[in-house]
Structure formats: structure tokens, C-alpha cells
Amino acid sequence: MSLRKSIGVIHPRIAVVLHDLAMAALAWWLAKQLRYSLQPGEIVSYHLLEFPLVLLVQGLIFRWTGLYKSVWRFASLPDLWNILRAVVIGAFAIYPALFLYNRLDGVPRSVLLIYPVMLGVLLGAPRLAYRYWKDSRSELLQNQKVKRVLIVGADRAGEVLSRDLRRDSRYSVVGFVDDKPSLRGASINGHPVLSRLDQLPEVAREAAVDMLLIALPAASTSEMRRVVALCDATGLPYRTVPRLEDVVAGRAQFNQIKEVAIDDLLGRDAVELDWTAIRETLTTRRVLVTGGGGSIGSELCRQIARMGAQSLIVVEQSEYNLYRITQELRADFPELILEGILANCGDQVAMQKVFAQAMPQVVFHAAAYKHVPMLQGQLRTAFRNNVLGTRTVADVARETGVECFVLISTDKAVNPTSVMGACKRVAEIYCQNLDAHADTRFMTVRFGNVLDSAGSVVPLFRRQIRDGGPVTVTHPEVSRYFMTIPEACQLILQAASIGKGGEIYALDMGEPVKIRDLAEQMIRLAGKKPGSEIPIVYTGLRAGEKLFEELFHPLENYRATGHAKIFLAQHREVSWELLQALLNKAAEAVAVYNEDELRRCVSSLLPSFRWSEVAQPDNVVSIRRNEPGDQ
């Protein structure tokens, strides 16, 4: 370290030491002057070594109590307590030192009482004054940078948020807005509740607000949409605290400020599930998940691990996805018996080996190709993976005595118009009918689009908005059902706990969302204006796409279950011998790459499926070029 640096580090400490010793000398002098001023007839006297002895003893006490380690810039109550301790102990130490020196000649006992009071004031006042001066300067310098914020929601979350913001010099809370009549005119942490929510734009303008903070973690999706619409009307930036379910699940902290995400507006109100039944199904059980590295499969693995499964086998054909999910699970659940298997579900020998060694009791079959446009011209690949792969895993599960097998399906399997939907529907038919010929309980879970899953429209729109547009939508009126990944996985686990075999379960997914509205909302959340700053381009419906999705076929006669938002489709039987014969013929067509024969097999299984809308392989390139997402 250079001499200049050494001086720079030491000098402030020397200044503090010299200041404190000077204050000790001044306090001693003032104490004696004050004592003798009460009796003017007596003469003040000082011995030769009196001051050096007082300063030596008091300086040693200062060092022993750590007074020089404190920083004046941050002087506070603990520092004042340390000063009080140092001056009191110093007075008690000075008494015997002077007694040994001169038998306290010229030092009345009352001086030893006045001295610590004077010294405490002389040491504490400069420190507090210095801090006040530095804080005042900082406020003046940062005054132009402080954001005036208005908190939306004056409940517990809003109160905690306002308290936390007191310690953040970047924000200054103006007040609250809330719809509760009981809070009208109230004051929370010194900040007034200014108005109702519907007056938000006017209040924000009148109070010269710079930012809005939404503190409504328990708000329903419809309430959140209303609040965000009001925030949009102000033209101001806004942030929010995490949803209550994210806090409970450990995905976020209660008072964390974050940007409003699209799943805050499209995710639906939480479904009340029977967690006791789910735990009974999974706890101490051997569980296998195919496609365990994908969006749905990986979240399934996380929730299964939380439920206390005895062991978890993850089957995945993507090396990277398998590595990622196994590393995460080993870090988060070190006590879990975990095995990652790199294999294709259609590999019968591999599946027989895995099932024979692991002997799983519960199987979740999430492995599938799901990108609608990409699969339109690739019937053989889609059928081989989504149908024959499902049949392979289901057959091996039956042979090895698996207790429960859950097929993860999609709303695109209802009245399918795409190759992907048709293949998933055939897989559903096979599992439904296999249930009658097995001790294993086979069931299907069907749901709509999953927010932020791989290949979904949300990541595509986010990337297009980041690149400055345009955002591509297939049709102005196209709409889809949406749900979050955790919610989809919870439904799957619930189906495993209540299914008797042969059922198709689906979630009441609320109202469908127009993709156009989704695009516009995502543009606004990015702080841009739809149309002017980020254009929206309509590319036209692609082959196999529907304007509207369905969760049940009219002939399935769906009915309610014991759960308010979970429905059950009535089983539709197909001749088992005919089904086996058609699948065997289709497998032969796949083996020799005979797509014409494969189409005939699919048409026999799904007579209503129209091949006229299915793109041929030479159209695959143009489909990928449009790439408006799996809508």
C-alpha cells in the first residue's frame, strides 16, 4: 500500500482520537469550573500531571470500549449507548488513578459526577450533528432522483411495503388508494388513504406521482385486470408484489417488487385441491415421469418431490433437459432417491428395462411433441412419438403392475383439426380402452395452453416485442384457454388421486382469451403502445388451427366431480380388437414410412378428422417461416 493510501486510511481515525481526547480535556475543565463557580471563595487548582493522567485513562477506556470503530456518518442509538458506557467507566477509572497520584487533592468528588455528563454531551452531540448534516446533504443531492409512489391497496401488504420503502431513499410514498370504505380518510404509517381505486388516474395526476405500486397479493385475476387497466390509464410505470400463492410456494418474497407479468392477468383464481388425497397418492411411492425435462414434466417433478415421493425416475430424450432438471432436483431435494434416464419412450426394450428395475407405482406420461404448425406436415413423426410412444409406455406399465398411469393430453384432442391434436386423441382412446383390460388405472388429464411453456405464444410475443415488433397473430378473433404451469401440474396430481380408471379430466378454465388481447396487453406491460410503437400483424390461420378451442366433445357428456372446477368426460368405448388391429397396421406403416396408409389408419380411428386442412411435408418450410407461435 502506498504512503498516500496509508495516510488516507489512518487520518480520519487520528482526527476522531484527537477530537475525543480534546473533548475529554474540555469536559474535565468544564466540570471543575462549574463545581468551583458554585463556591466563588475557593480557588481552582490543577496539578502538573492531572490532565495527562485523565486523558491517558479516558483514552484507554475509549479504545477498550471500541468507540473509535464507529463511523460518525451512521451514528445511532447503539453508538450513544457506547459513549455513555465509555464515560461512566472512564469516571470510575479516573477516580483511583488520581487517588494514587495525589490523594484527589484539588478534585472535589462532585467533579467526578459532573465530568461524565459533560463528556457524554461533548462526544454525542458532534456525532449526531455530523450525521444530520450528511443526511441532509444526501437528501438535497438525491431530491431530484426520488420517485413519488402511490400504493394501490392499503391492506397488510400495502402497510408492509410502505414501511420497507421508508428505508429506501429512492422512493417517497405519497399515499394509498383502496376500495374499502372503512379505510377512507385513514392514515397508515403516516401516509393517507386518498381515494377509491376508480379514482386512481385523477389522484395520480393531482399528487404528481411518478410510479404506482400494486400491493394486492390476494387479488383475483379479474380484480388484477381491473387494477392494471386503471394503472394503464394513468400512463405511469407500475410494479406489483408477488401473488399470495407464489409466496406460499416459495417462488417469491412477500415484499418483493416486480414487474406485472402476463400470468398475473391471465392466470386464473386458484383451484382448491384435495392435498391430503394427493399426498396419500405420492408420499412414499415410486414415481416415474416421462418427458420430465419439459415445461410440464419438470414442474411435475418438482411438485412430486415436494409431496415426499420415495423415489423419482425422470425419463427424458433431451440430454440437456435431463441434466438441468436432475441437477435442480438434487440441489433442492437431497434426500430424494432420484434417477435420470436418457431414453426415448418409444424404445420398448429401454422402457421394459427401466420399469423392471425401478418398479414404479405411479407414472405420469408427459413426453410428447406438441408444436402444432411443425407437426402438420410430419404425420409419421407425430404418430410415432405421441401415439406409439404412449402405447409402449402404457403397455409396459400394465405388464409391470403400475398402480396408476396418467396421460397428459390437450384441448386440441377435442374435435381435432391438426395432426398433433389427432395423435393426442388416438393416444387418449388407447389409454381409455386399455383401462378395461388392465389392473392399472389409466386416466387422462386434458387442459389448454400453458403460459410460458416451451413453444407457447407468450415467449414468442415477448421476443418479438423485445425486437421492436411486429407481433404476429394468426387471426383477430382467434382465442385460447390459458393456465399456469403450476396449476396444470396440480390438476394432473389431483387426477392421479381421484381417478378410478378410464376417465378424462379437464379443468374449468374460465373464459377463453383472445390472442389479440393477449398481444396488446403484453405490449402495454412492456411500456409500449400497441399499433403505433409495436405493430400487430395478422398472418392468417394456419393449416389445422381452430378459431376456438374446446375442452370436451359433445358426445362425451361431461359432468361435475367432487371438485368445483374439475370436470369428467364420459368414457367413449371403441372395439378393443379393432383398435389393436388399426394401431398394429399404423405401426407397420410407420416402420416403412408409408404415410398414405398411416392417414387411412388415423381416418378409421377418427372418422370426423379432415385431412384437407393438413399441410403436406413440402409446406413445412413456409409454416416455420411464419412462426406466430403455438396458438
pLDDT in tens, 84-124: 888 888 888 887 887 777 777 767 777 778 888 888 888 87
The residue behind cell 400463492 is 245
CA distances from 337 to 305, 329, 341, 590 (A): 10, 10, 13, 37
- Integer Cα distance of 569 and 565 in angstroms: 13
Q: What is the pLDDT of residue 381?
A: 94
Q: What is the pLDDT of residue 556?
A: 53
Q: What is the pLDDT of residue 441?
A: 92
Query: Does residue 617 register a pLDDT over 70?
Result: no
Percentage, residues of the chain above pLDDT 70: 77
Task: Say how many C-beta atoms besides its own lie within 10 A of residue 299's C-beta.
Answer: 23
Q: What is the pLDDT of residue 35?
A: 76
- Which has the closest alpha carbon to 295: 276, 316, 274? 316
Q: What is the pLDDT of residue 240?
A: 78
Q: Specify the higher pLDDT residue, 552 or 489.
A: 489
Query: Does residue 136 register a pLDDT over 70?
Result: no
Average pLDDT value for residue range 215-227:
77
Q: Which CATH superfamily is domain 282-450+482-509+551-626 in?
A: NAD(P)-binding Rossmann-like Domain (3.40.50.720)
Q: Specify the higher pLDDT residue, 311 or 13.
A: 311
- Which has the closest alpha carbon to 371: 309, 294, 306, 438? 294
* Residue 4, C-alpha cell as written in the block: 498516500
Going by pLDDT thresholds of 50, 70 and 90, the confidence category of residue 258 is: low
Q: What is the pLDDT of residue 252?
A: 47
- Integer Cα distance of 282 and 277 in angstroms: 9
The residue behind cell 409406455 is 393
Domains 147-260 and 282-450+482-509+551-626 share a fold: yes
* Phi, psi for 158 (deg, rounded to 5): -65, -40
Average pLDDT value for residue range 222-241:
80
* Phi, psi for 86 (deg, rounded to 5): -65, -40
Highest mean pLDDT among 192-196, 319-323, 519-523: 319-323
- Which has the closest alpha carbon to 468: 533, 559, 405? 533
Query: Does residue 330 register a pLDDT over 60?
Result: yes
Q: What is the pLDDT of residue 105?
A: 73
Q: What is the pLDDT of residue 129?
A: 80
CATH of domain 147-260: 3.40.50.720
Lowest mean pLDDT, pick from 149-153, 354-358, 509-513, 575-579: 509-513
Going by pLDDT thresholds of 50, 70 and 90, the confidence category of residue 427 is: very high
Query: Does residue 501 register a pLDDT over 80?
Result: yes
Q: What is the pLDDT of residue 262?
A: 60
pLDDT in tens, 309-328: 999 999 999 999 999 999 99
Q: What is the pLDDT of residue 542?
A: 67
Q: Specify the higher pLDDT residue, 406 or 281.
A: 406
SS (H, E, C) 343-364: CCCCCHHHHHHHHHHHCCCEEE
Task: Say how many C-beta atoms besides its own lie within 10 A of residue 125's C-beta.
Answer: 11
Q: What is the pLDDT of residue 4?
A: 39
Percentage, residues of the chain above pLDDT 90: 23
Q: What is the pLDDT of residue 267?
A: 55
- Which has the closest alpha carbon to 493: 303, 285, 312, 316? 303
Query: Does residue 521 register a pLDDT over 80?
Result: no
- Integer Cα distance of 439 and 502 in angstroms: 11
- Which has the closest alpha carbon to 107: 39, 28, 38, 37? 28
- Integer Cα distance of 623 and 233 in angstroms: 38
Across the chain, mean pLDDT equals: 78
Lowest mean pLDDT, pick from 35-39, 155-159, 184-188: 35-39
Q: What is the pLDDT of residue 124?
A: 79
Beta bridge partners of 472: 537
Q: What is the pLDDT of residue 32?
A: 79
**What is the crossing angle of helices 515-525 and 457-466, to 10°?**
40
CB-based contacts of 247, cutoff 8 Å, min separation 6: 217, 253, 254
Q: Do the bridges between strand 211-214 and strand 191-195 make them parallel or antiparallel, or are there none, so unpaired? A: unpaired
Parse the chain into domains and list their residue ranges: 3-142, 147-260, 282-450+482-509+551-626
Highest mean pLDDT among 243-252, 258-267, 454-463, 529-538: 529-538
Q: What is the pLDDT of residue 134?
A: 64
Lowest mean pLDDT, pick from 233-237, 405-409, 589-593: 233-237
- Which has the closest alpha carbon to 485: 408, 414, 542? 408
Burial 567-594 (b: 16+ CB within 10 A, else e): bbbeeeeeeeeebeebbebbbebbeeeb
Going by pLDDT thresholds of 50, 70 and 90, the confidence category of residue 383 is: very high
Q: What is the pLDDT of residue 622?
A: 28
The count of residues in the chain is: 631
Query: Does residue 131 register a pLDDT over 60?
Result: yes
Query: Does residue 456 register a pLDDT over 70?
Result: no
| 0.75 exceeded by pTM | no
Lowest mean pLDDT, pick from 246-250, 361-365, 436-440: 246-250
Query: Does residue 563 register a pLDDT over 80?
Result: no
Query: Does residue 357 register a pLDDT over 90?
Result: yes
- Integer Cα distance of 616 and 620 in angstroms: 7
